[in-house]
Structure 1
């Protein structure tokens, strides 16, 4: 599993506008790594810190954004935004509003 160091950048808002529709759904999963990290950080905000989610619930949440929930779930895990064990997931990265 790779763990990318993600830092917010000034053009992140533009990246989000390009990849999310007005309805909040992800239009396409970015192929460029930096843009994918921006999108994954946004998706990670849908999960509460300290809460453990069964895979079914993760799929339901991600399904609000895109039909390919397996890819999104895998990317969130591979990039260190979420951890998993025994079919359960929890948020482990991404930006946090304080």
Structure 2
């Protein structure tokens, strides 16, 4: 038997109508949520304007600004210097926020 519980699926963070119940405080749970949101809301190779990012995030939670900030700080979305455009990162961040080693 493993001493570590298996990670819970992100599905339990959402209500039956698909709304996020709360943004997890625990970094590992939040990272799993952010990875899920990135996968389901944003396409590779597409540039999103800030209102588009906010509109997508508002479909799951009212605090879209916090989610957007977490996505950028966590490395899931990249933002232009002027903050006007966003795009999905090609490589998801390594667990724990560590930069992946160069191959």
Distance between the aligned counterparts of 2:11 and 2:46, measured in 1? Answer: 28
- Change in CA separation of 1:89 and 1:64 when aligned onto 2, cut-off 3 Å: same
Equivalent residue for 2:58?
A: 63
Shift, 1:12, TM fit:
4.3
Q: Which runs of 5+ in 1 are unaligned?
A: 1-9
Is 1:75 matched up with 2:70? yes
Greater relative contact order, per chain length (Cα 8 Å cut-off, separation 6+): 1
- Runs ≥4 residues deviating over 4 A: none
Q: Which has the larger radius of gyration?
A: 2
- Calculate the aligned-residue CA RMSD, in Å: 1.6
